Structure 1
Amino acid sequence: MAEHKTALTYAEAGVDIDAGNLMVEKIKPLVRATRRPGADGEIGGFGGLFDLKAAGFSDPVLVAANDGVGTKLKIAIDAGKHDTIGIDLVAMCVNDLVVQGAEPLFFLDYFATGKLDPEQGAAIVGGIARGCRQAGCALIGGETAEMPGMYHGNDYDLAGFAVGAAERDQLLPTDDIIEGDELLGLASSGVHSNGFSLVRRIVEKSGLSWSDKAPFAHGETLGEALLEPTRIYVKSILKAIRGTHGIKALAHITGGGFPDNIPRVLPKDFSAELDLDAIDVPPVFGWLAKTGNVAPDEMMRTFNCGIGMVIVVASGQAAQVAAVLQEAGETVTSIGRIVPRRDTGVIYRGSLDL
């Protein structure tokens, strides 16, 4: 008698194609809402299309960036809040584009999970679409990978890929940075998306849970407060670049903080002198420093400490640039100046109010 053999299916192996198709249907209107000149906002093809001529460039240079969100994802997973982490993903990529003077054009995402939950996936992509709208770029495609055994349950990972363009003669940084140029700082929305391995250790030390009240934020849980999305500076900075022609360089303050990121955009003959007394440090950083007993130098090397973007401007145009940025909704502070090169790329005056 022949032995009966059970027929296996892909779904029984842990990959649900129907769930993937359902998620695609849920996110189509979200993606469509990101359409812009050059992209029609439709998904489903084998590749995303972008018409560079339709975007209005005459002599463009393409600029590309990719990034992730680090272990901030773990807080989103543990707190069960998935609707804003996609904004962080977009922000980490497009803020890196605009520091080159580039306008973000399109974005693609990679979403990998152990077991696909269409509702969870749609919430994540909904955040990505919101981030794209804030940045003015189109979400033209992505990959959803259900990989049982690679991730535990509904745990997931994200990666983002952004492409922008700048006119060849408008790329940043410029080559005319000089002593006396002013440094403007744009306020961050919180911790943004760097340093979360340390954040999680500090929270563990505090004994608080993600659902407890945040000690530093009124009316929010600890999870909600720490998941505040990374600020997207694209539209305000592009407005200032195009409206003033006074911006010489921009530094996105991410991992490595001030000492690692500001020198990346300066000529080797110059340093940045920062007036730490001028920085309005949000309460979250004071709580992290005190609860974790984190030294000020370590805080500045790990976190943005309240400044998410540093701008180098000609001293005579600082007021004009600041006015345009403030009109666009940014909180702008004069935080220092360019000085002849010292032993380090960043020199501090004063101290942070932690």
Structure 2
Amino acid sequence: MSPTPPSPAPLSYKDAGVDIDAGDALVERIKPLAKKTLREGVLAGIGGFGALFEVPRRYREPVLVSGTDGVGTKLKLAFEWNMHDTVGIDLVAMSVNDVLVQGAEPLFFLDYFACGKLDVDTAAAVVGGIARGCELSDCALIGGETAEMPGMYPAGEYDLAGFAVGAVEKSKILTGRNVAEGDVVLGLASSGVHSNGFSLVRKCIERAGAGLPAQLDGKPFRQAVMEPTRLYVKPVLAALAAHPADAASSGGIKALAHITGGGLLENIPRVLPEGLGAQLAQGSWPRSELFAWLQQTAGIGDHEMNRTFNNGIGMVVVVAPEDADAVAATLRAHGETVHRIGRIVPRGQDAAVTLA
């Protein structure tokens, strides 16, 4: 009679590659970060099966506005350069800036962090950036998900996604329908590349090889490239409160455009009525060393630059001409760098946005 083979050793979830204790440790690290983002409306946040939020009672006819996004291939440089503390700001900014374009106040944010093996220190650095972005936007970090999935991601890599929910009075939704010929286009300066076009940025870095500049725009090269997306929420909300669109007089702020993938050429038309376009004045805003280096290294023309990158303008504000100076002054008083970059014109046959 053959001997009975020994029973295989028990397998735990940790043996399979998922460390529940590490996940619990991360949650404990996140809780004080999320607490700093609390604002009116939060009823229950981190730790439950679902987060609860009550729309502030000051809204009479609240309309919820949602936005979702990721960070894209900028993460590949974060892995390579071990720079994880600002990509969370990018994640928040990409969603809250989109919500803002409708005239909405961001209320809360949730994130999704996925990896093959959870490194608590790396994840805490990323979530620290998310919390900082929420704090700067007066937006509550109300929940999220951390997924440890062995075999799904290479060692040391992770993915990020997130979404924001905001609210706006129904009567104050920015639709762009009141935009008219002759309106002024203001541009708010970006902080750098933000979080779009990084597949080309990485190709430029690869092409430059050992010839990378030590500094750009007064910052070490890597810091200049990884500078997080600018958060426009507080200054723009202040400007909207001070200069609301007025249908009766056709005054005030009429439209906003977040300059993300597609650049100036493809994002501005999204908020303009049919038949209208934008004529931008070439050279009406300063050219950073970073964008000059990217264009030279890639060997591309102005058109390709302006449809790939924000090229120095991260948010566009369309405003009635009589209010342009006042709106610019309000935005500058709240910390924005503002340029008058163009005007609204009848749309041409070929392009909705032209640079002259």
Could you tell me the TM-score, scaled by structure 2's length? 0.94
For 2:41 and 2:19, locate their aligned partners in 1 and report how far apart those are by CA, in whole Å. 33
| Structure 1 residues 134-283: aligned runs within 5 Å | 134-208=136-210, 214-220=214-220, 222-245=221-244, 246-283=252-289
Provide Cα deviations, 1:70-92, integer angstroms capped at 9, x if missing partner.
10011111100100000000000
Which residue in 2 is equivalent to 1:24?
27
Distance 1:278 1:128, change over 3 A: same
Answer whether contact 1:65 1:96 (CA < 8 A) is retained: yes
CA shift, 1:341, in A, is: 1.6
Which residue in 1 is equivalent to 2:249?
none
For 2:125 and 2:219, locate their aligned partners in 1 and report how far apart those are by CA, in whole Å. 23
Provide Cα deviations, 1:242-279, integer angstroms capped at 9, x if missing partner.
11111100011100011110000000110100001202
CA shift, 1:100, in A, is: 0.3
- Indicate yes or no: 2:322 matched with 1:316: yes
Answer whether contact 1:28 1:42 (CA < 8 A) is retained: no
Distance 1:83 1:194, change over 3 A: same
Identity of aligned residues (%): 57
Which residue in 1 is equivalent to 2:55?
52
Residue 71 of structure 2 is aligned with which of 69, 72, 76?
A: 69
SS of equivalent to 1:166: strand
Answer whether contact 2:45 2:52 (CA < 8 A) is retained: no
CA shift, 1:213, in A, is: 5.5
Could you tell me the TM-score, scaled by structure 1's length? 0.95
The two structures, once aligned, show a CA RMSD in angstroms of 1.3
Which residue in 1 is equivalent to 2:303?
297
For 1:169 and 1:2, locate their aligned partners in 2 and report how far apart those are by CA, in whole Å. 78
Gaps of 5+ in 2: 245-251
Which residue in 2 is equivalent to 1:94?
96
For 1:261 and 1:305, locate their aligned partners in 2 and report how far apart those are by CA, in whole Å. 13
Aligned length: 345
CA shift, 1:39, in A, is: 1.1
Which residue in 2 is equivalent to 1:326?
332
Which is worse superposed, 45-54 or 312-321?
45-54
SS of equivalent to 1:207: helix
Which residue in 1 is equivalent to 2:9?
6
SS of equivalent to 1:206: helix
Provide Cα deviations, 1:301-330, integer angstroms capped at 9, x if missing partner.
100110001110000000110010000000
- Indicate yes or no: 2:313 matched with 1:307: yes
Answer whether contact 2:44 2:52 (CA < 8 A) is retained: no
CA shift, 1:219, in A, is: 4.5
Answer whether contact 1:106 1:138 (CA < 8 A) is retained: yes
- Indicate yes or no: 2:289 matched with 1:287: no
Which residue in 2 is equivalent to 1:346?
353
Which residue in 2 is equivalent to 1:352?
none
